[in-house]
Amino acid sequence: MRLLSKKSGLLTAALLASFAGMSQNIQNLPVPLEIQKAYSNETRATNGKPGAKYWQNHSDYKIQVELNPATRQLSGTEQVVYTNNSPNRLSSLVIRLYPDIFKKDANRDEREIDPSDLNDEGVTIESVTVNGNEVKTQRNGTNMFVTLKSGLETGQKLTLDVKWSYLIPAKTHIREGLYFKSSYMVAYWYPQIAVYDDIDGWDRQDYTGQKEFYNDFNNYDVDITVPASHLVWATGEWQNPEKILSPEILDRYKGSRTSDQVVRIVTAEDREKGGITVAKSGKHTYHFKAEHVPDFVFASSDTYLWDGSSAVADSKTGRRTAVAAVYHPSSKDFYDVCRYAKQCVEYFSTYLPGVPFPYPNETVFNGSGGMEFPMFVNDGSYPPAFAAEVTAHEIAHTYFPFYMGINERKYAWMDEGWAQTLPNWMEFQIDGMPKKFMPQQTNAAYFDQFAGKEQEQPMMVPTNLLTGTAYTFATYMRPSQAYTFLRDMLGQEKFKATLQEYMARWNGKHPMPYDFFFSFNDALKEDLSWYWKPWFFEKGYPDLALSEVAIDKKGKAKIVVTQKGSLPIPIRLIVLFTDNSTEEINETARYWKNGAKTFEVEKKFSKPIQKITLSGLMIPDVNRKDNVWEAGK
């Protein structure tokens, strides 16, 4: 036990007193000490707003990179101007080297990696300088640590130069890789300065495969050199299409950016006859710029087809977002993906969240799985219904985590939960979607399977501590249900307005869970701790029972619903009469706010009752055996 000096003891006592006073405002939720310290430092506020002293750091990247498709070699140089807006002097930098996950001794999640993609070196670093001077570096896991001899004071900038290269994996697809022999999705690829924030300082977590984004909002100026036969699509706005595309393809490309219809920019016939770019041999260098985005990715192919269209993102100004789908000719579903993407941008911009789509472009690349990036999506090929769902899910990520700067590494439910939920309310409106496709019903069924089991962990357990089913359930399914029933409880318009207020407060910043909880509380002028606690902080499961049904001779019925589980969920009673007509009795999750354990209905029905069903398939319930009553049984 180390004894504190008198001075440090007084300081500790002062901090504890400060936290104690503060806890009176936040006592309904358990708040970790790091968050309490942020309130004390005034970087965050207990009303859910950024504090008066909120700050975040920033980088300006200039990158020149060359992709050699024949060898899978990616070689680049970058210059990063990094600004320290924190109140602290920085004595080092943390640089992420994501491709080091393919080193043989790397720490990885339960992702399968083809042995042929493993190597001894990972990223080859040829040189690192700070302000023109060589610096000492140390690598550990997927991070490289750079010592700053003179430090970086508050308000100062430094210039970091790095020259590097690595081999893109040939058979493994963790968000990037080689597809169809000559097409590349390039993500998590450049040496990236990690986040330094007001909660944890430097983010030193290794990239282990499963956990995703936590990046600052940066500017990018990127040159990408590829063989002349390859086309490139990327984050940001393309600066030099006139220097690369042939006149006919250029006209189609430009036309697609204001078109309401899908334009086939590059077709199979175009690929067969050639002449897509102005040069038949040699190399082209594509130039892209992107501002205030948390990452930059690109894709390249000499075989993919290319569709384009546009959607009105802001009805007040008429601003449009160009959408595109690039895909292998064999992918049957992708011929419709550009249309799906257009409708997603329109829906998210106008309905929910009802915030104009923030980016000028959105490209969906035909790769594998489903993975989001700023202005870019990597999706596999799927049957039509699932293709629409995956497209919607990944484009929804534009708002969470990119627009909002979510720390997915610690709280992935803050973005995956929204991406899982927002599309549930729009996919019925996508042209060509099967009428019986019911994603909310699927989510509820999945929830039934895992809620309350040993593997289940509360959502507030940091994501980096979760794996397998526990990760999936806490990240996707449980938050999706919580958001859905919150919307049901508040009503569409109040829910939308409250969500938009939270987004307006934290757009371009780094909200944590308490910023979300307290922002909703503040905007609604209501303490929702009774709802936040069971759904986000505790273990628990949804379970309602139709515990009593009594009908007298005059047709008066008494129906009793008992809450067996701990999660507040809606009550939905479907009364089926003998003539096969139905009547519903509904209550939102708010009914359970004050600790009620039963819900009773006493009502005289005008028709004989044949059957009463509780919950239905849209509401999860771990035991549905006690949810049905039938006359005469």
Strands across the sheet with 58-68, in order? Answer: 133-134, 124-130, 157-167, 73-83, 58-68, 218-227, 283-293, 237-238
Strands across the sheet with 90-96, in order? Answer: 137-140, 143-152, 90-96, 192-193
Residue pair 530/428 in contact by the 8 Å Cβ criterion: no
> What pLDDT does residue 434 have?
54
Strands across the sheet with 376-379, in order? Answer: 263-266, 305-314, 319-327, 361-366, 376-379, 370-373
> What pLDDT does residue 280 have?
86
- Condensed to tens digits (0 to 9), the pLDDT of residues 22-75 reads 443 465 999 999 999 999 999 999 999 999 999 999 999 999 999 999 999 999
Residue pair 621/627 in contact by the 8 Å Cβ criterion: yes
The rounded distance, in Å, linking the Cα atoms of 430 and 337 is 11
The rounded distance, in Å, linking the Cα atoms of 143 and 106 is 11
The whole-model pTM stands at: 0.94
Instruction: Encode 251-286: b = buried (16+ Cβ within 10 Å), e = exposed.
Output: ebbbebbebeebbbbbeeebbeeeebbeeeeeebeb
Low-confidence ranges of the chain (pLDDT < 70): 1-27, 110, 427-437
Residue pair 281/228 in contact by the 8 Å Cβ criterion: yes
Q: Is 498 exposed, middle or buried (0-12, 13-18, 19+ CB in 10 A)?
A: buried
Asked if omega into 360 is within 30° of 0 (cis), the reply is: no
* Amino acid identity for residue 112 in this structure: E
- Condensed to tens digits (0 to 9), the pLDDT of residues 492-501 reads 999 999 999 9
Q: Is 610 exposed, middle or buried (0-12, 13-18, 19+ CB in 10 A)?
A: middle
Beta bridge partner(s), residue 127: 163
Angle between helical axes of 478-490 and 413-421 (0-180°, round to 10): 60
Q: What share of residues in the chain are helix, strand, coil (percent, to 5)?
A: 30, 30, 40
Query: Can you read off the two tokens belonging to residue 252?
Result: 């189609």
Query: Can you read off the two tokens belonging to residue 345?
Result: 């941008």
Of the candidates 470, 433, 434, the residue with the CA atom closest to the CA atom of residue 109: 470
Tell me if domain 55-211 and domain 544-630 are identical in fold. Answer: yes
Asked if omega into 513 is within 30° of 0 (cis), the reply is: no
Query: Can you read off the two tokens belonging to residue 424?
Result: 């549930």
> What pLDDT does residue 13 have?
42
The rounded distance, in Å, linking the Cα atoms of 446 and 544 is 17
> What pLDDT does residue 352 have?
94
The rounded distance, in Å, linking the Cα atoms of 405 and 509 is 5
Q: CA-based diameter of the chain, in Å? A: 93
Q: How far is CA 418 from CA 381, 383, 484, 617, in A?
A: 23, 23, 9, 21
- DSSP code of residue 69: T
E-strand stretches of 180-271: 183-186, 192-193, 196-197, 201-202, 218-227, 231-234, 237-238, 263-266
- Domain ranges in the chain are 55-211, 544-630
> What pLDDT does residue 436 have?
57
The rounded distance, in Å, linking the Cα atoms of 138 and 230 is 37
In degrees and rounded to multiples of 5, residue 161 shows phi and psi of -120, 130
**55-211 in CATH: which number?**
2.60.40
Tell me the three-class secondary structure of 508-570, residue by residue.
CCCCCHHHHHHHHHHHHCCCCHHHHHHHHHCCCCCCEEEEEEEECCCCEEEEEEEECCCCCCC
Query: Can you read off the two tokens belonging to residue 393?
Result: 């899910």
544-630 is a CATH 2.60.120 domain: no
What is the DSSP secondary-structure string of 273-325? H--SBS-SSSEEEEEEEEEEES---EEEESS-EEEEEEEEEETTTTEEEEEEE
Q: What angle (nearest 5°) sits at the alpha carbon of residue 100, between those of residues 99 and 106?
A: 135
